[in-house]
A and B are shown apart, each in its own frame.
Chain A
Amino acid sequence: MLLAAADAQISKPEEFQVKAAYLYNFGKFISWPGSKSGTSFPICVLGRDPFGSALDTTIAGDSIDDKKLVVKRISSTHEADDCRILFVSSSEATALKEILLSVQKLPVATVSDIPGFVNQGGMIEFVLRENRVKFKVNLAAARQSGLALSSQLLKVAVEVRDTQGKQE
């Protein structure tokens, strides 16, 4: 029952299991504006899906705010309109700027594990700290999209930025 198995290296599947869980849980700590409607709660994955079945398994049958969670895999941001959460896979690292630009006005929570994501205007960026999956948060980006992030979320974030699209 020790706190940290710090020396053990986290494996990829584990990592994405956790990330999937986090993705799912983010949904509980983010509030979308009223304009966002829809009968389901889609979590979209843009690019190559690194979760495998983890995300599907995690959200299976669950709902947030009575909206059924679904996983949507999309290949372009055009399909991201009704996404609540959009995970940008690291396969899209090169097109990051364009992706962010096209969705920055949309009430979509952008999450990625691409390094520097939040610097580029992404809302939540997965990072690994001591073999543990953590995340950074860009409040301004969220604000810009009209999303509110619970303080609870911010609490556990390793870093919280509140600058407007400041580029590193």
Chain B
Amino acid sequence: MDPNSARLLATGFAVGLGMIGPGIGIGVLVNGALNAIGRNPETAGTIQTNMILGIVFAEALGILAFVVSVMLGLGIFGGAA
């Protein structure tokens, strides 16, 4: 495998594998939030704000994977762009 195709594969894998964790995390988060809203609909506003906060923290990990993928794609870690 020549280095360039390895780099392209890594670009895809970095973001593809890196998004699995945040995806599961966001699913669990929304599950919990919807359960809470279903049990106690009056607090929906507060729960939604906190849910979005939690989603954002989980998503931050996915963004890190995306940044690594972009850096690989631009050839910052080596290999021709």
Q: Do A and B come from one complex?
A: no
